[in-house]
Structure 1
């Protein structure tokens, strides 16, 4: 006790020269006598009032005095030191008075202490309240009590933060904070504040009941109906829901209340358009997904609407959980759009390759991406009708159609060449001429079965890296389009020949396996230092080993096998979409590592492409009969190699010379996309034939830039009409100026309306701008802001809509856009929206 008295008095003497102390209960003399206050004279009133007055006012006008009286304060008419007392400070020695003085609050506010003594018995709570008072002194007893509520709940200060803290407790089955409020005698005050702020006024207030009412009112107001709580409640709800810190608590309560409030039943009566911007309950996302899938199956919603709905849901709290379903829907919709807009005609083999490599490949890509997201979502049953539609359209209306047309184009070819396009057989010579003629080193990554459309995605991923550029061109693979011949064609080659076992020799050397390929690569240019290695061996190299690889070699070939390793096995072929995604990520990392090892000339290519249809094939997809001949040395799902092969319906027959090979072997390729029957092998993922998907392979050239060439998209605030806010809400349009692309990256911002001094006076939105559409209207984001009650304090002033972006992973942000509004509301109310 004496320590606290001493500390309190010392603080008072920092501001006062004279302090009076009346010991009303006459039990503090020992404490008074034990006090030692540096620079302060202790004196006692003992019928010596006039002498004391003369001393403290005239004789020692600069000395500090603690004036003690052993007894109660005399009546005013009997108090001869009243004039001095009124001009100085009074110390009260009871516990409540000590706390009042320690807090530094005016004595007229001491009921905020005396009525809540249990609160102050915690030094931790007292210290926190002192911090609040130091930051902003209270102007009323209610101010102090509001701060006490914040201390009880470990909140930041305002009522909404108190409510958020209690919602967290409720979500996790705790009642610690509400019990501290109750023990502190603040419960009735809390409910009065809630009633005034949010309009919650039941006869028996209960926090769980309030919480349910909060969810219900927020939902009702969001769909344009009347809720039992006011607009300030909706604002508090939005702030709490949108905070990353509160995510788990929100999800727990939302899950519990959507059944209590019968949200699933309510949603059954509502159109998607009415709820597409709402995310208060997870069931809303489920409802929207089911409705979209049904609408697409029934063709009752336009592609434009579906893509718009999917874009809007990207801002939903639940989007990460359902991202793959939404992306599957988006890919399916874009596939349908692309197929509807595709002109599937060709006038020559070269025209076919040009059309495929500039636009048609996108249909293969969208189909694969749809399958990938459908599989990853784990919701194949939900998406089954959409899958059946996409599968049938892809197989019949695209793959079969273009390859039937393509078969007509190549049927008359007497040599496997497509005018205007490089051949795989010429790859090494062309690359050596390109780089080694200038004494430049280069590295080639051969990714087994890297189809053109997968390479195009890889190109975009690489171009999205800072200081990287990439260019993709098509090349025509050798026939048959299988690994052994494709790999041999990409090496320096001479006298390529398919052997009896289906292997391929070059320079009279075998070409299978890393060691053999290394020997053949060395045959290219005798003066070049060459190296062949597997992708995993390169990726396991240390940084210094990678730089040594560059230093000691002129030409490096790296063999990567992700897609073929998965797709070419019956047991795993259905995982082809996932393998393609992994291949893109592998190649992206490999290119980055090569750059770190000082390689600047990087070429990514493939031995062949592939056909893939996820649905097991029916009988019509298989050739009726195998070609016959003197001998068949190799048989695959998509080709036959032999001698003395006889022409057969449904096949095109090539001799070795026509294919740029040597020897007397012949190759029979089934027409279009037909497969041969081969026991024990998969039929969904195949290659070896002459379809566009198999023979149009990528040459992806990767280079480095000297300067940073990646930026985030710009976001602009668009306001129609006057920049005036005259009600409790305001609507604006945010516009993403550039489509997201390889060099223009997505941007995540927070948006809110702020008064001067950067005080937030509205709800705050976290928004991701990642629109990739070239259509400017599809990069617009309409947004509504609700003003808080704090906005009333800034009426008739300028306020600012600000977009802020987090700086790295720090707690700081920078302003990227701002718009000035005049706040001019005629009536201060929370009910004008």
Structure 2
């Protein structure tokens, strides 16, 4: 025996003595007698058993050192229990034998009766010291051969001892083009162990190749919706959990993309109907194919908005929705716009400017909103080519079916007006008197956010976004009618305190009661004349205020000017990005409001200087008037002219300045309908200054910041709860008790069944409850929970359906509710 082996045996004996006080070593024939005689282990006495059982027992039990360890060595075979006079001590001991298998078994804490089936059967595994060290920490005395082998698999694969985790590890290695773990499984005689259990666990009995297994799992997951399921429930649960896994989900996507190409999945699904595609989650091409189907439906107007919304609701929380999300959402917005135009513009009659103004505020604005939303999504679309035909339809229908039709109804009413005034509508020049003054006279601090070119439809969405913020209460005030022309210099002046607006110089500079309103500094002076403790400030500077609470104390009224939308739209090179700028302005205004909240502000008014017209496509020659601007010009744009001695024309409506609420002595010309006046170098798709409803309807939003939280979440209950589980596939219905609104948020729940030991025994599903439907049937969702095959082993026991809610701004879940069920499954239900 070499010194290394001797040291190893002595080391094992020392470790065993630390765990048990007695070691019995039966060495039939006495081959290790000389070695035993040479042993010197501190605190351990070596006793030789040779027909002296009573003497040894007395020596051990009557000793004065109860902590002393003993090695009882015998050169004979172990006696039968009935002849073993030291049996009472032996059952408290660790048996030991000096062959390497026994040494390894003892070192790892494996019972000697399992040595042959574990240590000897996988000898190469135990020859590696690192393996022995790792397996020792994972074993318990209750483990059988199967459980120990599972732990050995986990050591080799460097993962948890579950078949899901083992398969993830082997799948990852295969995806990376490696086979180190698989080679070690073969070397250690563990490969059969894994594959035999895979056959039981997944029902897979094909070639013992990881890629083949993965292919079959993916194919089975794809075909199960057509009733072609050939594997167990565990296989379905495995695939679902893999898709949803935070740790392994990216690997699932890599495998899915790889197999989609290798197996020509997209081609094989080309003949699937939309209804057949909707339940499938296996491959990324499915959502692209769904988008193709929807494109045809939208182009042919054969699907309603509600039907497409239902599809989006079903797909948007699935793992591959993102590959076609913008495309599908663009198609939904296109259908919404087209349906609105069809319903609202057919037989449209407007009897007065007042009626037309209110009609736009109540209904027609939504067409502009969906048009904007379409291009917001389309510009981010994963497949813009797929939308080419839809974009053409959207642009043509929006321009011809909406803008032109609206202009044809609206412009004659404007032509008949003697003065620019609409009954029962507040004039923009009276903004301060109607909306600001009531706060000032009551000494209530007020913040006024003026967003350049934030039109009415955008404010409707802005209101919805702000209202969702905790402690924010929003109220849309009746819209105002803008000044004419509807452009920045005049609109900004109209929002200040004023009795008269005028042009005092031959330049584009508006005066309020004789004071210039050009620029923030001059607007501040105008405010100070009315309210001593007031301030006009640019939004960029406002957001830089580091101590808002202290800063705001010095002011009763603060006007904040934001210029994101108009700055983008008024530039010929960037006008096509105006809808993207609108999204940026949403975030900008929310930051301003958050700064106000941090400074303990409570009352905010959000408004605009004017709206705008925008057409995404390049304009035709017919969109430009041949009208020639002539006279003493103060300023002119594509939509208006201001000056004196202006030459009139049929393409424009000419107003005396006093008829549009300005000081006498000037003239204003407004291009009729949607017409653009030719002007060198300026943009033509984004315009304002005219009298179209999109330009002159000015929104006003009041935001009140509450002290108490006012945002809650919907409640979700189990419908018609049965107390028993009778099959391996159990349908459970869930009911969202409230409608999602601005102040009632949706709820994301992760749900699954657990046994009394807390082990998951079904698939785990994530469901989102965010329905805004008032129809209670639309707020019900169902899921078929699929149980693992050992469910019948729990017969007569109680299991729980655990519902966990997703925490806000987190990927973590916390317990929401639990419901108890008793298992009563017939054994044959497993097959």
User: Do the two structures share a fold, i.e. TM-score over 0.5?
Assistant: yes
Contact kept? 1:23, 1:69, Cα under 8 Å: yes
> Residue 78 and residue 619 in structure 1: after superposition, are their counterparts in 2 closer, same or farther (change >3 A)?
closer
Segment drifting more, 807-816 vs 588-597: 807-816
The aligned residue for residue 801 of structure 2 is 801
Select the residue among 373, 376, 383 that pairs with 2:377: 373
Tell me, yes or no, if structure 1 residue 301 matches structure 2 residue 298.
Answer: no
User: 2:827 is paired with a residue of what secondary structure?
Assistant: coil
For structure 2, list consecutive stretches of 5 or more residues without a partner in the other structure: none
The aligned residue for residue 105 of structure 2 is 100
After superposition, residues 1-400 of structure 1 pair within 5 angstroms as 18-23=22-27, 26-27=31-32, 30=35, 33-36=38-41, 38=43, 41-46=45-50, 48-49=52-53, 51-53=55-57, 55-56=59-60, 66-69=70-73, 71=75, 73=77, 81=85, 83=87, 87-89=91-93, 90-110=95-115, 111-122=117-128, 125-134=131-140, 137-202=141-206, 204-227=207-230, 229-342=231-344, 344-400=348-404
Segment drifting more, 571-580 vs 705-714: 705-714
Segment drifting more, 818-827 vs 69-78: 69-78
CA distance in 2, matches of 1:809, 1:301: 35
Select the residue among 450, 458, 462 that pairs with 1:458: 462
Tell me, yes or no, if structure 1 residue 476 matches structure 2 residue 476.
Answer: no
The aligned residue for residue 698 of structure 1 is 699
Structure 1 position 59, deviation (Å): 8.3
After superposition, residues 572-721 of structure 1 pair within 5 angstroms as 572-626=574-628, 630-719=631-720
User: 1:43 is paired with a residue of what secondary structure?
Assistant: strand
**CA deviation vs aligned residue, 1:667-701 (integer Å, no higher than 9, x gap):** 12122222222221111111000111111111111
Structure 1 position 369, deviation (Å): 0.9
> Residue 454 and residue 170 in structure 1: after superposition, are their counterparts in 2 closer, same or farther (change >3 A)?
same
Contact kept? 1:606, 1:698, Cα under 8 Å: yes
CA distance in 2, matches of 1:593, 1:791: 56
Structure 1 position 605, deviation (Å): 1.1
Structure 1 position 70, deviation (Å): 6.4
**CA deviation vs aligned residue, 1:127-159 (integer Å, no higher than 9, x gap):** 54344334xx54421121122212222332222
Structure 1 position 51, deviation (Å): 3.1
Contact kept? 2:22, 2:90, Cα under 8 Å: no
How many equivalent residue pairs? 820
The aligned residue for residue 510 of structure 1 is 516
For structure 1, list consecutive stretches of 5 or more residues without a partner in the other structure: none
Contact kept? 1:232, 1:830, Cα under 8 Å: no
> Residue 28 and residue 693 in structure 1: after superposition, are their counterparts in 2 closer, same or farther (change >3 A)?
farther
CA distance in 2, matches of 1:329, 1:822: 46
Contact kept? 2:288, 2:323, Cα under 8 Å: no
> Residue 790 and residue 334 in structure 1: after superposition, are their counterparts in 2 closer, same or farther (change >3 A)?
farther
Contact kept? 1:254, 1:281, Cα under 8 Å: yes
> Residue 699 and residue 84 in structure 1: after superposition, are their counterparts in 2 closer, same or farther (change >3 A)?
closer
Tell me, yes or no, if structure 1 residue 538 matches structure 2 residue 542.
Answer: yes
Tell me, yes or no, if structure 1 residue 486 matches structure 2 residue 497.
Answer: no
CA distance in 2, matches of 1:82, 1:108: 20
User: 2:491 is paired with a residue of what secondary structure?
Assistant: helix
Structure 1 position 780, deviation (Å): 3.4
CA distance in 1, matches of 2:227, 2:728: 15
Tell me, yes or no, if structure 1 residue 567 matches structure 2 residue 569.
Answer: yes
Structure 1 position 23, deviation (Å): 4.4
CA distance in 2, matches of 1:811, 1:423: 49
Contact kept? 1:627, 1:648, Cα under 8 Å: no
Contact kept? 2:448, 2:559, Cα under 8 Å: yes
Q: Normalised by the size of structure 1, how large is the TM-score?
A: 0.92
CA distance in 2, matches of 1:611, 1:367: 12
Structure 1 position 502, deviation (Å): 2.7
User: 2:535 is paired with a residue of what secondary structure?
Assistant: strand
CA distance in 2, matches of 1:28, 1:256: 63
> Residue 758 and residue 338 in structure 1: after superposition, are their counterparts in 2 closer, same or farther (change >3 A)?
farther
CA distance in 2, matches of 1:779, 1:342: 29
Contact kept? 2:613, 2:688, Cα under 8 Å: yes
User: 2:219 is paired with a residue of what secondary structure?
Assistant: helix
User: 1:251 is paired with a residue of what secondary structure?
Assistant: helix
CA distance in 1, matches of 2:498, 2:680: 33
The aligned residue for residue 741 of structure 2 is 741
Segment drifting more, 456-465 vs 785-794: 785-794
CA distance in 2, matches of 1:432, 1:63: 89
CA distance in 2, matches of 1:126, 1:399: 79
CA distance in 2, matches of 1:809, 1:177: 38
User: 1:469 is paired with a residue of what secondary structure?
Assistant: strand
> Residue 302 and residue 796 in structure 1: after superposition, are their counterparts in 2 closer, same or farther (change >3 A)?
farther
> Residue 268 and residue 531 in structure 1: after superposition, are their counterparts in 2 closer, same or farther (change >3 A)?
same
Contact kept? 1:56, 1:63, Cα under 8 Å: no
Contact kept? 1:239, 1:764, Cα under 8 Å: yes
User: 2:663 is paired with a residue of what secondary structure?
Assistant: coil
CA distance in 2, matches of 1:324, 1:8: 65
User: 2:247 is paired with a residue of what secondary structure?
Assistant: helix
CA distance in 2, matches of 1:2, 1:467: 76
**CA deviation vs aligned residue, 1:805-827 (integer Å, no higher than 9, x gap):** 24457786322234443332212
Contact kept? 2:344, 2:364, Cα under 8 Å: yes
CA distance in 1, matches of 2:103, 2:508: 97
> Residue 535 and residue 656 in structure 1: after superposition, are their counterparts in 2 closer, same or farther (change >3 A)?
same
**CA deviation vs aligned residue, 1:626-658 (integer Å, no higher than 9, x gap):** 465x43443211112232335532432211111
> Residue 809 and residue 566 in structure 1: after superposition, are their counterparts in 2 closer, same or farther (change >3 A)?
closer
**CA deviation vs aligned residue, 1:210-232 (integer Å, no higher than 9, x gap):** 111111111111332243x3332
CA distance in 2, matches of 1:810, 1:12: 48
CA distance in 2, matches of 1:587, 1:63: 76
**CA deviation vs aligned residue, 1:331-363 (integer Å, no higher than 9, x gap):** 222223333443644333222222222232222
> Residue 452 and residue 80 in structure 1: after superposition, are their counterparts in 2 closer, same or farther (change >3 A)?
closer
How big is the alpha-carbon RMSD for the aligned residues of Structure 1 and Structure 2? Answer: 2.9
CA distance in 2, matches of 1:745, 1:54: 77
Segment drifting more, 265-274 vs 789-798: 789-798
Structure 1 position 539, deviation (Å): 1.2
Structure 1 position 380, deviation (Å): 2.3
> Residue 441 and residue 144 in structure 1: after superposition, are their counterparts in 2 closer, same or farther (change >3 A)?
same
Structure 1 position 167, deviation (Å): 1.7
**CA deviation vs aligned residue, 1:519-554 (integer Å, no higher than 9, x gap):** 2222223xx222222111111221x2x233311222
> Residue 531 and residue 88 in structure 1: after superposition, are their counterparts in 2 closer, same or farther (change >3 A)?
closer
**CA deviation vs aligned residue, 1:299-335 (integer Å, no higher than 9, x gap):** 3333332221121111221123332222212222222
CA distance in 2, matches of 1:14, 1:392: 87
The aligned residue for residue 755 of structure 1 is 755
Structure 1 position 591, deviation (Å): 0.5
> Residue 29 and residue 524 in structure 1: after superposition, are their counterparts in 2 closer, same or farther (change >3 A)?
farther
Contact kept? 1:792, 1:828, Cα under 8 Å: no
Contact kept? 2:792, 2:826, Cα under 8 Å: no
